Structure 1
Amino acid sequence: MTGLRRFIRRHGWSYAFILPSLLTFTVFVLAPVVWALVISFQEYSLVRGGRWMTPFYKNYLTAFTQFGGVFVSAIRNTLIYTVFTVTSNILVGLVLASLIQPLSHRLRTFFRAAYYLPAVTSALIIGLTWAYIFNAQWGFANYVLRWVGLPPVRWLSDPDIALGSVTLSAVLTVPATAVVLFSAAMGSIPREYYEAAELDGAGPIQRWWHITVPLIKSTTLYLVVIYTIASFEVFERIYVMVPSGVGNSTQTIVTQIYNNGFKDLNFGVASAQAFVLFVMIAAVAVVQFRLLRSDVEY
């Protein structure tokens, strides 16, 4: 009891200050997540409440087998989208940040602000813009094709290329967060490293590859993780650009969760799919941490 009083006297104010944030997190994040896990093992109805299922994993089995295994197709589509978008975001962000880093402070600030503008734009607005660009009748993409003598393409209505069109729209969107964070990380690298490498005869590409890239590894890890999570959870872009889904060709994990939970009111299956998504994100994040973690300090 004396130890508890000493602990409260020493750390009580610290915990009092973070208590509002802890309560908010518990009520609006932790509790719904736990409740969703419970629902994933139940046949849940808004009217009748929940009823435990036999076998207990029935919702998870249904998630993978309903409608001819569309959830499996959604997982595959999500993985394809994630691989291309995360790779392009990291590479484009790294290249753009490297190009603006040698500029003056004023120009670096200008380009950082310019590249960050898409990040403050609503995802729905960006999705609508790309939907207009890929419109089969009067979209800008087909206008360019007709201008060079090529036939128009059904970008968002052809099931063979619809997912590729959505992925292309994400790839061609400037990765604002990556540019800003990579630029800031490069600016914190001591100049002495580059001067020493230059004295040893290292060229610009060699200095970039052997000094810049390794020393921003922690930033790269952070960006890879957050971009992977965002890609796994893609919904707005799909919902706006291809609301009909074009069959199952553009179905993703989150669109399946939305359809089951909010259209069909099948909350048990939707919760099961949500936890499948959680496990996938956690597993990928663990692999990324193991591959990209760095103990470099400077």
Structure 2
Amino acid sequence: MSRALVRRETISGYLFLLPSLIFFVGFVIIPMFTCIFYSLTDVNMNTQGMGNFIGLKNFTSLWADDTFKEALWNTFVIVIVSVPTVCAFSLWVSSAIYKLNGKLLSAFRCIFYLPVVTGSVAVTVVWKWMYDNYTGIFNYALKGLGVIDKNINWLGDPKYALGCIILILFTTSVGQPIVLYVSALGNVDQSLVEAAQVDGATNMQVFWNIKWPQMMPTTLYILVITTINSFQCFALIQLLTQGGSGTNTVMYYIYYTAFKLTEKAGHFGYANAMGVILAIFIGLLSALQFRLAKEK
């Protein structure tokens, strides 16, 4: 192939990539570096221009901020609980339904994926009614079964509020992993499965030694995406508790600090510092997941 042809194909390829590249640079790369820059300043709503450079003062202040530490702890609880349960449940459901006939399989995938494509506000409104102190279906059912004697304030009691948020996040997160796992199980090399079964391998041995390694790329993608979504839990908190009842998370505290915390006059620099810390934790966990997946 001549150099002129290679150059022409290369230029054509980059031209096709240009729209996505412009979007990526404009809405990901530039905001990322802007966030890092402003995290080193004291810029807020009352500041003219870019504010004063204060170095790492925002970051050192974070570790003395009890509210931030509580929000960080709640965020980690959400991630630690939701990510394994979402992946395990999705894999279990997918293993049970992937051999079903076309129409029945499509029906199950539609049922599980419906909360994903439904608007978060609509889903949250339904759950808020279910958790209602007086007319909610949970209190009604539990009292009818004799499990509880009086209504529980699900979203107002710190003992239950964070668990309620995690439950909603779980139900809205399993749809995509189920669809992906069904596809991955359908693409497993059946000749290897049949050979192992002929040799006397049990179903568990077939799954662990043949199916699981072939599903590892899909599992890694699901782990990373679910981790990022769990770290970025915001809409549920904003619509249900506004960070109260022990449900404050880093994402909500960023929003609260930047736009609602009047005594800091919208401290954008402080909020950006929290965003940088959150991005670092997400990057470290994602790197750890890639490392573990390679070892497998």
**Fold conserved between structures, TM > 0.5:** yes
Aligned residues of 1:64 and 1:70 also touching (Cα < 8 A): no
Aligned to 1:37: 36
Describe the SS at the equivalent of 1:65: coil
Q: Are positions 1:223 and 2:233 aligned together? A: no
Aligned residues of 1:101 and 1:108 also touching (Cα < 8 A): yes
Displacement of 1:172 in angstroms is 4.3
Matches within 5 A, 1:86-125: 86-125=83-122
State the distance in 1 between where 2:154 and 2:21 align.
Answer: 46
Displacement of 1:229 in angstroms is 0.2
- Following TM superposition, the consecutive aligned residue runs of length 4 or more in structure 1 with deviations greater than 6 angstroms are none
State the distance in 2 between where 1:39 and 1:172 align.
Answer: 36
Aligned to 2:285: 284
Give a deviation string over 1:209-246, Cα, whole Å, max 9, x none.
33222221111110000000000000011111212522
Aligned residues of 1:217 and 1:294 also touching (Cα < 8 A): no
Displacement of 1:294 in angstroms is 6.8
State the distance in 2 between where 1:6 and 1:171 align.
Answer: 51
Displacement of 1:42 in angstroms is 0.7
- Structure 1: state its 5+ residue gaps: none
Matches within 5 A, 1:40-189: 40-46=39-45, 47-54=47-54, 56-66=55-65, 69-149=66-146, 150-151=148-149, 152-173=151-172, 175-189=174-188
Moved more, 77-86 or 223-232: 77-86
Aligned residues of 2:116 and 2:172 also touching (Cα < 8 A): no
Displacement of 1:53 in angstroms is 3.4
Give a deviation string over 1:174-205, Cα, whole Å, max 9, x none.
60111100000010112111211211122333
Describe the SS at the equivalent of 1:216: helix
Aligned to 1:257: 254
State the distance in 2 between where 1:289 and 1:91 align.
Answer: 18
Displacement of 1:173 in angstroms is 4.5
Describe the SS at the equivalent of 1:293: helix
State the distance in 2 between where 1:146 and 1:183 align.
Answer: 38
Moved more, 10-19 or 33-42: 10-19
Q: Are positions 1:20 and 2:52 aligned together? A: no
Displacement of 1:171 in angstroms is 3.0
Amino acid at match of 1:180: V
State the distance in 1 between where 2:38 and 2:7 align.
Answer: 38
Aligned residues of 1:221 and 1:293 also touching (Cα < 8 A): no
Displacement of 1:267 in angstroms is 0.1
Give a deviation string over 1:97-122, Cα, whole Å, max 9, x none.
10012212332233222321111111
State the distance in 2 between where 1:144 and 1:134 align.
Answer: 11
Aligned residues of 2:243 and 2:252 also touching (Cα < 8 A): no
Amino acid at match of 1:53: F
Amino acid at match of 1:102: K
State the distance in 1 between where 2:30 and 2:233 align.
Answer: 24
Moved more, 108-117 or 177-186: 108-117
State the distance in 2 between where 1:110 and 1:89 align.
Answer: 20
Amino acid at match of 1:274: G
Residues 172 and 113 (structure 1 numbering): CA distance in 2 closer, same or farther, change over 3 Å?
Answer: closer
Residues 16 and 70 (structure 1 numbering): CA distance in 2 closer, same or farther, change over 3 Å?
Answer: same
Aligned residues of 1:41 and 1:53 also touching (Cα < 8 A): yes
Residues 11 and 65 (structure 1 numbering): CA distance in 2 closer, same or farther, change over 3 Å?
Answer: same
State the distance in 1 between where 2:187 and 2:56 align.
Answer: 50
Displacement of 1:29 in angstroms is 2.0
Identity in percent: 31
**What is the root-mean-square deviation in Å for CA atoms of aligned residues?**
2.0
- Structure 2: state its 5+ residue gaps: none
Residues 17 and 226 (structure 1 numbering): CA distance in 2 closer, same or farther, change over 3 Å?
Answer: same
Residues 110 and 88 (structure 1 numbering): CA distance in 2 closer, same or farther, change over 3 Å?
Answer: same
Aligned residues of 1:189 and 1:215 also touching (Cα < 8 A): yes
Displacement of 1:24 in angstroms is 2.0
What TM-score, normalized to structure 2? Answer: 0.90
Aligned to 1:233: 232
